[in-house]
Structure 1
Amino acid sequence: MTRSEAVKAFFLKSVLPVAAAMFLYCIFKSACIRGGELDYVWLWILCGLPFGLHRMCLWIVPGGGSFGGGIALFALNFIIGGVIGGFVLAWRLVVAVLYVPLTAYRLIAG
């Protein structure tokens, strides 16, 4: 692997996910404050939403024609996608941390 490929992979696997997580945290932090405290569950769901919504394999489709039930299931789909995305985001942050020494080794070794 050349140095330019190692640097490019470092930015894609390490810098970009951390920057996206920080950006989402800055956006959603003010929306998740309840009673003067930060609600970490809703922050987890909202920050994970962009990472997990397209990874859902099954959408719950409402049946029966009730508009209220349809809206509730639509919201449930977004909550499930956010929870899935929260785990994906956590995994990407772990990979980003582990990729730093790997990139340093690749740049030093050659």
Structure 2
Amino acid sequence: MTIEDVIKKSILPLAFMVFWFWMTKTIMKVSGKTDLFWWIFLSGLPFGIHKMRLILIPRGMDT
């Protein structure tokens, strides 16, 4: 594994996740407090949709 692979497969996705969590937390601040439910919902949305699709519509099965 080269340094390029390490950067592409671990550092960039981690940096994106940190940025995404920070951005959604900043957006969700209402009067100085973060609405925890909506922050968890919005920050997990891009990561959970793919897994939901895999669970609900398995490959090789009839829908």
Q: Do both share a fold (TM > 0.5)?
A: yes
1:20 deviates by 0.9
2:56 maps to which residue? 58
Distance 1:40 1:10, change over 3 A: farther
2:35 maps to which residue? 39
User: CA offsets per residue over residues 56-102 of structure 1, 9 Å max, x none?
Assistant: 0228xxxxxxxxxxxxxxxxxxxxxxxxxxxxxxxxxxxxxxxxxxx
Going by fraction, where is helix more abundant, 1 or 2?
1
**The structure with more radius of gyration:** 1
Match of 1:15 among 11, 14, 37: 11
Distance 1:15 1:37, change over 3 A: same
Instruction: Tell me the TM-score normalised to structure 2 length.
Output: 0.59
Greater RCO, CA 8 A, separation 6+: 1
CA distance in 1, matches of 2:39, 2:31: 15
Distance 1:6 1:40, change over 3 A: farther
Q: How many aligned positions are there?
A: 55
1:14 deviates by 2.2
Unaligned runs of 5+ in 1: 60-110
CA distance in 2, matches of 1:40, 1:6: 39
2:60 maps to which residue? none
CA distance in 1, matches of 2:46, 2:7: 19
Instruction: Tell me the TM-score normalised to structure 1 length.
Output: 0.39
1:6 deviates by 2.8
Q: Percent identity?
A: 35
